[in-house]
A and B are shown apart, each in its own frame.
Chain A
Amino acid sequence: MTTLDHLRNRDAVLRMSEKEAEERASVVDPDDERMIINMGPQHPSTHGVLRVTMELQGETVLRSKPVIGYLHTGMEKTAEDLTYLQGPTNVTRMDYAAPLFTELTFSLAVEALLEVEIPDRATWIRMLMCELNRMSSHLLFLATNGMDLGAVGMMIYGWREREEVLRFFEKVTGLRMNHNYIRPGGVAADLPDGWREDIQNILQVLPERLEQFDVLMTGQPIWRERTQGIGVITTEEALALGATGPILRSTGLAWDLRRAMPYLAYDQVDFDIVVGTYGDTFDRYAIRLNEIRESMRIVEQCIEMMPEGPYRTEDRKVTPPPRARIDESMEALIHHFKIFTEGFKVPPGEVYTAVESPRGELGCYLISDGGPKPQRMHIRAPSFVNLQTLPHMIHGGLLADAIAVISSIDPIMGEVDR
């Protein structure tokens, strides 16, 4: 039997309208003792506003369906009304746990259409910041995953470690989240004085803390009981459902865009792709924990190999003139004014760029009509697609395990609904 037949025959997806689900909610069918329940959108373990409609028989989950859209704010429509320079302020609000990645994929798409080369230092700063962001995002996952499964202490520790990284982000970008730091043409500002020491401090504390997490969760029997063998998915199923990131890697396939289709300078750094074996909730947890360690390796190499030079392109079409020039040159002032009011024009065309975000393939499909604003900007959000694996993973399991599985998908609802 092929994977497609298998997925179809399993009958894991609840094909029921929201209205019907509401009408039938919490009423037990006398014939087969089945019952529809609505979990969320205000459930604390649904990471925001995810609602899952589930068909239960006793405590066993049969069919289910993630109901989304509660956070939909039309960001792709908004993007059509913002210039390319304003674009990152919009996309950065999609995946709010890993905002730099969405800025990156958007900027790469604009640069591909502009055919602008960015300086080496900008590339390496982007890589450094993105890997730090991957660490903070995975730390957030560890915190919420621990909380969802009853390791409430973990929530405090995960947030504490993430705070160290956010403090550095605040120093570099001025903001703890939604940075608007990576922009078409480079990055918004150079790294501040003392950045090496700040990162060294983070890298010094973290390994010890990660080992504490191992004691607290990885080796703990209760934790293992709750996660091992729960929410299993195979490689073929994950690929058929379009899942990427830790979900796909947990099945044993070493698919990571940083290695498979290198962007930035990922072909110049050493790192390992962490893969799982069983495709269960524990594997997905372990992958994220160990990816923090791999990201730390990349950050260390970024510190060593960080080149000197400009942090944004010298192309005056994209980059505003330096502040000092504005004081002495009328043309520079006009130029500066034009870039920020009218924006720069991007040649007509369409392009798709993709980066490996902490949640999987984060893509940007951009269509330009030659004007200063995109004609269409589409973000391929990994959480949105990954959420489709949920009914298949929780099918036949217990309701309590469904919480563990939702948590292990690590959906960010801002990105799901956009």
Chain B
Amino acid sequence: MTDSSPPVDEETESDPGAIPEADVETLHGSAVTCSNDQTVLHPSKDGYHDLVEALKDDGYGVCIDLCGADYLGNETRSLPLTILPERFELVTNLLDVHDSRRIRIRVQIAEADPSVTTITDLHPGAEAMEREAQDMFGLVFEGHPDPSPILLPDDWQGHPLRKDFSMGRIPVQFKAVDGR
């Protein structure tokens, strides 16, 4: 609703690097979809960092939001045909403050290998958000400068926002302070 990204066609035309594949629109080599009037890109996990870098050169200079998502048990997700669905998704929202537009990146991340390259070298502001995604979903950000827990206690076991981490199953893990 609040999104005012320009139509996808315009961007694809103005970008010489985009190679249109059969029926799937692309931008910087990643499939483009439209979700509730918002532009969404679907890069491969390996192409994620390069895509963020290319978009930064296009003007998307602010990483405004970054979060994980767990699609376990959700059969309703719609993805472009070229993208293989995985359990986890990393969702990055980028913002261009000069042209007032947004773009969203959804990266598929497999449960067996939940690692992805950090974008903190491009957007230092993603640091806290990546740490949160690491706490909540167990995603591993390779090259992150400070991959310590941010919201959870240092000795916390498990990743609370995963769908198989049910509420009330594990007793609260806070411990008494030693020596008091």
Residues of A within 8 A of B (CB): 4, 7-8, 13, 15, 17-19, 68-69, 72, 74, 76-78, 81, 108, 111-113, 239-244, 253, 255, 257, 260-263, 348-355, 361, 363, 365, 367, 369-370, 375-376, 378, 380, 384-385, 387-388, 417-418
B58 at the interface (CB under 8 A from A): no
Chain B 74-118 against A: per-residue CB contact (8 Å), 1 yes, 0 no? 111110000000000001010101001010100000000000000
Residues of B with C-beta under 8 A to A418: 151
> Of residues B2, B102, B148, which shows the largest number of chain A Cβ atoms within 10 Å of its Cβ?
B2
Q: Is the CB of B121 within 8 A of A13?
A: no
Q: What's the Cα separation between A341 and B3 when bound, in Å?
A: 33
Whether B93 pairs with A365 at a CB distance below 8 angstroms is yes
Please give, as numbers and ranges, the residues of chain A lying within 8 Å of B71 by CB-CB distance: 375
Interface of B, helix, strand, loop or mixed by DSSP: loop
Task: Let me know if B167 and A365 touch, CB within 8 A.
Answer: no
Assuming A15-B146, A244-B64, what are 11 further A-B pairs, CB within 8 angstroms? A4-B121, A4-B124, A77-B160, A78-B167, A239-B62, A240-B123, A241-B125, A262-B2, A348-B76, A352-B104, A376-B69
Least CB distance, B73 to chain A, in whole angstroms: 8
The docked-state distance in angstroms from the alpha carbon of A15 to that of B129 is: 16
A112-B1 CB under 8 A given contacts A260-B97, A380-B65: yes
Chain B: which residue is nearest A352 at the CB level?
B93
CA–CA, A129 to B43, complex, Å? Answer: 41
> Contacts A17-B154, A108-B2: A253 and B97 contacting too (C-beta < 8 A)?
yes
Q: Which residues of B contact A (CB under 8 A)?
A: 1-4, 35-36, 38, 61-65, 67, 69-71, 73-78, 91, 93, 95, 97, 100, 102, 104, 121-129, 132, 136, 145-146, 148-154, 160-161, 167
- A352 & B128 in contact (Cβ 8 Å cutoff): no
CB distance from A76 to the nearest CB of B (A): 6
Contacts of B75 in A (CB 8 A): 369
What CA separation (Å) do A387 and B125 show in the bound complex?
10
Q: Quick one: closest A residue to B40, CB to CB?
A: A350
Interface of A is mostly: mixed
In contact, A239 and B61 (Cβ under 8 angstroms): yes
A-B complex: 6 closest residue pairs judged by Cβ atoms? A242-B125, A348-B76, A380-B65, A69-B151, A241-B125, A378-B67
**What residues of A have a CB within 8 angstroms of the CB of B126 in the complex?**
242
Contacts of B124 in A (CB 8 A): 4, 7-8, 240-241, 388
* CB neighbours of A261 from chain B (8 A): 2-4, 100, 102
CB neighbours of A242 from chain B (8 A): 62-64, 123, 125-126, 129
Inter-chain contacts of A354 with B (CB < 8 A): 2, 64
B1 touches A349 (CB 8 A): no
**B77 close to A348 (CB less than 8 A):** yes
B131 → A minimal CB distance (Å): 10
Distance A373 CA – B69 CA, assembled complex (angstroms): 15
Which chain B residues lie closer than 8 Å to A8 at the CB level?
124
Task: Knowing A13-B146, A241-B124, A365-B91, say if A260 contacts B100 (CB, 8 Å).
Answer: yes
In angstroms, Cα B2 to Cα A257, docked, is 9
The distance in angstroms between the C-alpha atoms of A352 and B67, with both chains bound, is 12
Whole-angstrom CA separation of A5 from B154 in the bound complex:
30
Indicate if the CB atoms of A380 and B74 lie closer than 8 Å. Answer: no
CB pair B77 A384 closer than 8 Å:
no
- Can you list 9 residue pairs at the A/B interface with Cβ under 8 Å? A76-B136, A241-B124, A263-B1, A351-B38, A352-B102, A352-B104, A367-B74, A378-B91, A388-B127
Residues from chain B with Cβ under 8 Å of A241 in the complex = 124-125
- B97 contacts A361, CB within 8 Å? no
Which residues of B sit under 8 angstroms from A77, Cβ to Cβ? Answer: 160-161, 167
A86 to chain B minimum Cβ distance, whole angstroms, is 15
Question: Contacts A113-B36, A260-B97, A352-B93: A417 and B151 contacting too (C-beta < 8 A)?
Answer: yes
With A7-B124, A260-B100, A380-B64 known as contacts, the answer to whether A351 contacts B36 (CB < 8 A) is: yes
